[in-house]
A and B are shown apart, each in its own frame.
Chain A
Amino acid sequence: DAGVTQSPTHLIKTRGQHVTLRCSPISGHKSVSWYQQVLGQGPQFIFQYYEKEERGRGNFPDRFSARQFPNYSSELNVNALLLGDSALYLCASSLAGGETEQFFGPGTRLTVL
């Protein structure tokens, strides 16, 4: 079975632009969470979606938004990019909300110039 997949692998944008990152969870998993990992730090929770509804949100500005589709894949959108948004964006998949095990994808490396 395929694990969590994310696209694109790498992305370069300039300040003020908009970006969309994509995640496909493990087959059968209905919950997707997004994390931001700035270089040299641990991942920070951005969003959780379960059954297409937002179930939790971390301390991130409204420039960050996400949605989950009927097939449980998810998109993370970031508007008005800042240099500080440069990071590895990780998607985690789990069977449901509040599950013990979450499995992470390889991440999308976003560089904002």
Chain B
Amino acid sequence: GEDVEQSLFLSVREGDSSVINCTYTDSSSTYLYWYKQEPGAGLQLLTYIFSNMDMKQDQRLTVLLNKKDKHLSLRIADTQTGDSAIYFCAEGPPGGGYNKLIFGAGTRLAVHP
């Protein structure tokens, strides 16, 4: 089946690292994504990782993938108040020219001074 699960809420102090976790079920997914959504806005693509990779780093963002456990994490270094948002993990697309992404319910990140 298709399912993506995330913890719903994370609170961190400004300057600390944030780690947002996600588990997925569809082993046929080719890519795993992290999107950011600020209040009242659409989704911003942050980063993505190919399903045969273990890690990807992009400036303050580090994505770790444990394919055996179907576990994905997003680490944000030196978290700032501007990082406060909802973060969505997504899997897909399934291939064959099909664009469908399956999203988790989102993790709300609150950054406090």
Indicate if A98 sits at the interface (CB-CB under 8 A): yes
Please, how many residues of chain B have a CB less than 8 angstroms from a CB on the other chain? 24
Q: Quick one: which of A64-113 are within 8 Å of B by CB? A: 90, 92, 94, 96-107
Please, how many residues of chain A have a CB less than 8 angstroms from a CB on the other chain? 30
A90 touches B43 (CB 8 A): yes
B100 touches A43 (CB 8 A): no
Which residues of A have CB within 8 Å of B102? 45
**How many A-B residue contacts, CB cutoff 8 Å?**
72
Indicate if B12 sits at the interface (CB-CB under 8 A): no
A41 touches B100 (CB 8 A): no
- On whether A100 and B41 interact (CB within 8 A), knowing A41-B105, A48-B99, A50-B97, the answer reads no
For B103, the closest partner residue in chain A by CB is A42
Contact with B along A33-55 (1 / 0, CB 8 A): 10100001111110010100001
Name the distance in Å between A110's Cβ and chain B's nearest Cβ.
14
Query: A interface vs B, CB < 8 Å?
Result: 4, 31, 33, 35, 40-45, 48, 50, 55-56, 58, 90, 92, 94, 96-107
Query: B interface vs A, CB < 8 Å?
Result: 4, 31, 35, 41-45, 48, 88, 90, 93, 95-106
Q: List 12 A-B contacts (CB under 8 A).
A: A42-B106, A43-B43, A48-B100, A50-B97, A55-B98, A55-B99, A58-B100, A97-B98, A97-B99, A98-B93, A106-B41, A107-B42
